[in-house]
Amino acid sequence: MPSCEIGLIGLAVMGQNLALNIAQHGFKISVYNRTASKVDDTLTRAKNEGNLPVEGHKDLPSFIDSIAKPRKIILLVKAGPAVDKILDDVVPLLAKGDMVIDGGNEWFESTEARTTKMEALGFKYLGMGVSGGEDGARYGPALMPGGSPDAYEALKPIVEKIAAQVEEGPCVSYIGPGGSGNYVKMVHNGIEYGDMELIAEAYDLLKRLGGLTNDDLNEVFKRWNQGELQSFLIEITADIFTQVDEYDNHHRLIDKILDVAGSKGTGMWTVQEAARRGVPIPTIQSALDMRYISVFKKLRVDASRVFPKRPLATQDKERLIKDVQDALYCSKICSYAQGMILLRVASDEQKWNLNLAEIARGWKGGCIIRAKFLDRIRSAFTKNKELQSLLLDESFAEEIKEREAGWRRVVSMAQQQGIPVAALSASLSYFDAASSDHLPLNLVQAQRDYFGAHTYKRIDRTDGPHHTIWARTTEL
Ligand code: NBP
């Protein structure tokens, strides 16, 4: 008799920790990994972490046989072809009604294609975003499951137990049909890119314009973490400044880390998706661009010799700290506003009926962008389900008005002194453009009509579109 309530394939960082989390909550779990040594590692950890109910298998048929029907099998393998390979191997061993849940950072359309294929064969399929990294997976992640609602119902008793728990309940709820779970996770990651870049720019400004030491920075970030900026990323940033270098204990590790940042693809997908749907997300896009620019290290060093920077004029510390805090907070509002609009547009176009208030609630715990701030977003969308932008929410609007002057001071000071603030300034320009009743795009439209007969609409007439044979005043 199969005795396991659930199975999990893929025992790298995420899979191993999620399996132990599931077992810790009393669900007996069967595990399998292509490389057998990871099965042994998982069993050793299960034993050492309290004799957790984990059963290990080194071949797929015995793994599948160990799970009670209808089977629930979570995949936590590298997204893309590895998932197709596993499905090819697993499908012949499954029985009708069994369910596969892909917990990887998968492209949402791949999940939709696999769902169609699996459902045609009589199986259920869910794409479930998992956030929180290693610790989240082990002690409570944020989970974003999408797919058919009845498939989710079967999984609900387990995921509601293993997810992070916040005051308002577990950080998991049914996201919507199709690949919506993967999509929401993708946008979560895009927002995460934005948050990280904004924090990095704040650090740079405080260090270079304010002369703050690592200990000062630790204090400031700890203080910020007590207030409106409270978040996991601010909290870990405070810790980072105090970490001593293991090779040279007179220095902090942060000062020894190369200024080149990688990316795995979800930030790029978010930017591509936003462009495909015509949704501006400049804060997130600039965060991605900065990672790309960072990679061109040699070019940057060569160009820095061509354009030597002038000495920086240091600023009044306390004033700078307050202004940077204001700039960070306002930019964060803009970044989340952009992410939420992308979710709304995708939801309308894909007919997912996403509940933005519930998504913000689900991000309150377990995930990398968890923050007090998400409560505010949740209330904004609860108060007004049709809210078109966070900029139009009264309380966010008031906060921006109170902080706007500091935000502008910081961005202009940075630009005058040659300190790159791509995300802070992109957010400010976004704010200025998104709150302008007039943009100079009338000229762009005139240019398009001039050279390409793309036509234009007029502000004083309802007929049209119009086209003009523009009078050329200079010879070619
Ligand atoms: P990885 O994304 O590094 O994938 C490693 C796992 O995939 C191993 O179990 C490996 O087996 C398996 N695998 C590969 Br690669 N090719 C395979 C194939 N052809 N057949 C069978 N198994 C194959 O692991 P991860 O970092 O734990 O992430 C798992 C998923 O969760 C990914 O989609 C990731 O994007 C997502 N995620 C990761 C994080 C994070 O913080 N790491 C956070 C949130 C989501 P092997 O041991 O035999 O090589």
Q: Is the pLDDT of residue 474 over 70?
A: yes
Specify the residue with its C-alpha closest to ligand 1, atom 36.
104
Q: Ligand 1, residue 14: give the atom nearest the CA.
A: 27
CA 9 to ligand 1 center in whole angstroms? 10
- The DSSP bridge partners found for residue 67 are 4
Specify the residue with its C-alpha closest to ligand 1, atom 7.
77
Q: Is the pLDDT of residue 34 over 70?
A: yes
CA 431 to ligand 1 center in whole angstroms? 38
Longest CA–CA separation in the chain, Å: 87
Cβ neighbours around 254 below 10 Å, total? 16
DSSP 4: B
How far, CA to CA in Å, does 20 sit from each of 28, 62, 144, 158?
A: 10, 20, 19, 13
CA 103 to ligand 1 center in whole angstroms? 10
Task: Select from 59, 78, 106 the residue to mutate for testing ligand 1; criterion: most ligand atoms less than 8 Å from CB.
Answer: 78
Specify the residue with its C-alpha closest to ligand 1, atom 4.
78
**Tokens coding 280:** 């501006």
3-state class (DSSP) for residue 412: helix
Q: Is the pLDDT of residue 424 over 70?
A: yes
CA 10 to ligand 1 center in whole angstroms? 6
* 226-274 per-position pLDDT tens digit: 999 999 999 999 999 999 999 999 999 999 999 999 999 999 999 999 9
Residues with beta carbon inside 6 Å of ligand 1? 10-15, 33-35, 38, 76-79, 82, 85-86, 104-105, 130-131, 133
**Residue found under tokens 């762009």:** 444
CA 368 to ligand 1 center in whole angstroms? 18
Region 328-336 average pLDDT: 98
How far, CA to CA in Å, does 58 sit from each of 44, 49, 53, 65, 144?
A: 15, 21, 17, 12, 29
> Pick from 230, 450, 464: which is nearest to 325 by CA?
230
CA 105 to ligand 1 center in whole angstroms? 9
Q: Is the pLDDT of residue 20 over 90?
A: yes
**Tokens coding 421:** 């603030």
* 95-127 per-position pLDDT tens digit: 999 999 999 999 999 999 999 999 999 999 999
Q: How far apart are CA 323 and CA 245, in angstroms?
A: 31
Q: Kindly report the pTM of this predicted structure.
A: 0.96
Specify the residue with its C-alpha closest to ligand 1, atom 43.
133
Ranges of H-type helices in 278-393: 282-295, 297-306, 317-350, 356-362, 373-383
Task: Select from 8, 11, 14 the residue to mutate for testing ligand 1; criterion: most ligand atoms less than 8 Å from CB.
Answer: 14
* 346-368 per-position pLDDT tens digit: 999 999 999 999 999 999 999 99
Q: How far apart are CA 388 and CA 394, in angstroms?
A: 12
3-state class (DSSP) for residue 289: helix
Region 400-421 average pLDDT: 96
Quick one: pLDDT band at residue 147, thresholds 50, 70, 90? Answer: very high
**Residue type for 308, please?**
P
Q: What percent of the chain has pLDDT over 70?
A: 100
CA 99 to ligand 1 center in whole angstroms? 20
Q: Ligand 1, residue 104: give the atom nearest the CA.
A: 33
- Identify how many contiguous H helices and E strands the chain contains and give both numbers: 19, 9
CA 82 to ligand 1 center in whole angstroms? 9
**Residue found under tokens 């970490």:** 243
Q: How far apart are CA 433 and CA 444, in angstroms?
A: 15
Q: What percent of the chain has pLDDT over 90?
A: 96
DSSP for 65-95 reads HTBPSSPEEEE-S-SSHHHHHHHHHHGGG--
- pLDDT reported for residue 379: 96
| Enclosing H/E stretch for 55 | strand 54-57
CA 34 to ligand 1 center in whole angstroms? 11
**In this structure, which long-range contacts are made by residues 342-350, counting pairs with CB atoms below 8 Å and at least 24 apart in sequence?**
342/187, 342/190, 342/270, 342/273, 342/274, 342/277, 342/279, 342/281, 343/183, 343/184, 343/187, 344/388, 345/277, 345/278, 345/279, 346/183, 346/273, 346/277, 347/176, 347/180, 349/277, 350/178, 350/180, 350/183
Specify the residue with its C-alpha closest to ligand 1, atom 12.
77
Q: Ligand 1, residue 79: give the atom nearest the CA.
A: 33
- pLDDT reported for residue 357: 97
Q: Which domains are seen in the chain, by residue range?
A: 6-178 (3.40.50.720), 185-434 (1.10.1040.10), 440-476 (1.20.5.320)
DSSP for 260-280 reads -----SHHHHHHHHHHHHT--
Specify the residue with its C-alpha closest to ligand 1, atom 19.
82
Region 37-46 average pLDDT: 98
Specify the residue with its C-alpha closest to ligand 1, atom 2.
78
Q: Ligand 1, residue 103: give the atom nearest the CA.
A: 31
Q: Ligand 1, residue 106: give the atom nearest the CA.
A: 33
> Pick from 81, 76, 71: which is nearest to 123 by CA?
71
- pLDDT reported for residue 476: 62
Instruction: Name the residues annotated as catalytic.
Output: 185, 192
Task: Select from 18, 20, 21, 34 the residue to mutate for testing ligand 1; criterion: most ligand atoms less than 8 Å from CB.
Answer: 34
Specify the residue with its C-alpha closest to ligand 1, atom 9.
10
- The DSSP bridge partners found for residue 6 are 29
> Pick from 332, 315, 313, 330: which is nearest to 206 by CA?
315
Specify the residue with its C-alpha closest to ligand 1, atom 24.
12
